[in-house]
Amino acid sequence: MRLDLVPRAGRSPLAAILAPALSFLAAVLLGGVAVALLGVSPTAAFAAYFIAPLSELWSLQEIALKAAPLALIATGLAFCYRANLWNIGAEGQFVVGGLAGGCVALATQGSAGFILWILPAMLVGGTLAGIAYAMIPAVLKVRLGVSEILTSLMLVYVAELLLDYMARGPLRDPAGYNFPQSVPFDAAARLPYLMEGETLHAGVLVAFASVVLATIVLGRTLFGFEVRVVGASPRAARFAGFSEARLTLAAFAVSGGAAGLAGIAEVAGKIGQLQPTISPGYGFTAIIVAFLGRLSPPGILVAALVIALTTIGGEGAQIDLRLPLDLTRAFQGLLLAFVLGADVLTRFKVRLVPGGAR
């Protein structure tokens, strides 16, 4: 017996939506088996993961707060991945963005008079830092042909160690009882809350606006067209005269800027000071989100909400049912594997043919 892939003539839009949905279902079923093996009732786990977080205002806000950075980073990554560029260092760009924006906040601490510019300056600073950090792998790739996969990933570790050093060393609050964290930011350096007495902050709006903007850029502008052509057919792009180097730099700038913005939005929104770690792996989870959303910004928004739901649900399940957090991670990895496999089924018919392997 052998597996044969026969290309499909066209790609049906129904299959494009069904494939991720069915993958999700398959991953949930397998997750249920794993939960049963761990000695917990699968229905109880399902309720904890997917129903409970949707039933209360605070957990709904937590989902939105988790989904915002994921959607923002993944949208930026979609530009890279669409163009067959593999920036997997968004986590590092996120951290550097948060650190740079945080430095702006700390430098302007306590300034009086006109202070409305501080928050925009932080957001711009974080975005620029993310772009600059993403330029390292991009320039190395364009000028020297160094694999961007490895350099962007190695820079994640460097960024995390840099933040760790800064938060424990130069930026530590001298009056903070030796806790490894900076002074809490002034109110002028915080993203405003959307509702009185709640946790939802304006970073969610920033993320949403970015996704809308990205949808337009990717679908309706020459730059977006170039990105899509280079990804779909590098040869055609070369004949059309698109500069691969320029596109590489631009795509990395978009993804690095988005990750940096997400980083400073997290610091200025949820955290409110600099700490040795500011990300629970958003930059890596965003890679799953990007592919789960089929590299299109609206799809990414949905995928980010789904992943945020399972993450918040996973935290609840850990407390209520003593299910380990690693289960959530294994589930997310499995989900990505299924989505990638199912994606093939929309492009090819899979046939089992008798005969030898080829």
Partner 1 sequence: MTLDMVQMILVTVLTAATPLIIAAIGELVVERAGVLNLGVEGMMICGAAVGFAAAIETGSTLLGALAGAGAGLGLAALFGLLTVGLAANQVASGLALTILGLGLSGLVGAPYVGLKRDPAPHLEIPVLSDLPGIGRLLFGQDAFVYAGLALTCAVSWFLWRTRGGLILRAIGDDHTATHALGLPVRQLRFLAVLFGGACAGLAGSYLSLAYTPFWAPAMTAGRGWIALALVVFASWRPARLVAGAILFGGATVLQLHAQAASIGLPGQALSALPYVATIVALVLLSLGRRQGGSLAPAALGRDFTPHR
- CA-based nearest residue to 189, from 120, 248, 244, 247: 120
Q: List, in sequence order, the alpha helices (H) in the chain.
A: 13-37, 42-46, 57-82, 90-107, 118-144, 148-168, 203-220, 222-232, 234-239, 244-266, 282-292, 297-321, 325-347
Segment interacting with partner 1 (CB under 8 A) among 117-125, 146-154, 200-208, 245-253: 146-154
Which member of 96, 153, 207, 305 binds partner 1 (CB under 8 A)? 153
Task: Supply the minimum distance, in Å, between the C-beta of residue 86 and partner 1.
Answer: 5
Cβ proximity of 45 and 182 under 8 Å: no
The CB-side HSE value for 189 (13 A sphere, CA atoms) comes to 26
- Cβ-based nearer residue to partner 1, 222 or 357: 357
Neighbour tally for 8: CB within 10 Å? 13
Task: Supply the minimum distance, in Å, between the C-beta of residue 1 and partner 1.
Answer: 12
- Cβ-based nearer residue to partner 1, 120 or 341: 341
Residue type, 67: A
Cβ proximity of 64 and 204 under 8 Å: yes
Q: Is residue 325 a contact residue for partner 1 (CB under 8 A)? A: yes
Segment interacting with partner 1 (CB under 8 A) among 61-69, 100-108, 196-204, 328-336: 328-336
Q: Which two tokens stand for residue 358?
A: 């080829």
3-state SS class at 349: strand
Binding mask 282-321 for partner 1 (x = CB under 8 A): --x--xx--x------------------------------
Query: How many residues in the shown chain lie near partner 1 by CB under 8 A?
Result: 54
Which member of 47, 162, 183, 302 binds partner 1 (CB under 8 A)? 162
**What one-character DSSP code corresponds to residue 53?**
G
- Cβ-based nearer residue to partner 1, 124 or 307: 307
Which member of 16, 115, 140, 217 binds partner 1 (CB under 8 A)? 140
Q: Is residue 149 a contact residue for partner 1 (CB under 8 A)? A: yes
Q: Is residue 169 a contact residue for partner 1 (CB under 8 A)? A: yes
Cβ proximity of 255 and 93 under 8 Å: yes
Return d(Cα 156, Cα 149) in angstroms, integer. 11
Q: Is residue 358 a contact residue for partner 1 (CB under 8 A)? A: yes
3-state SS class at 358: coil
Q: Is residue 165 a contact residue for partner 1 (CB under 8 A)? A: yes
Q: Is residue 15 a contact residue for partner 1 (CB under 8 A)? A: no
Q: Which two tokens stand for residue 104?
A: 């702006």
Which member of 96, 230, 265, 336 binds partner 1 (CB under 8 A)? 336
Instruction: Give the residues lining the site for partner 1 (CB under 8 A).
Output: 3-5, 7, 34, 38, 81, 86, 88, 140, 144-147, 149-151, 153-155, 157-158, 161-162, 164-165, 169, 284, 287-288, 291, 324-334, 336-337, 340-341, 343-345, 348, 350, 356-358
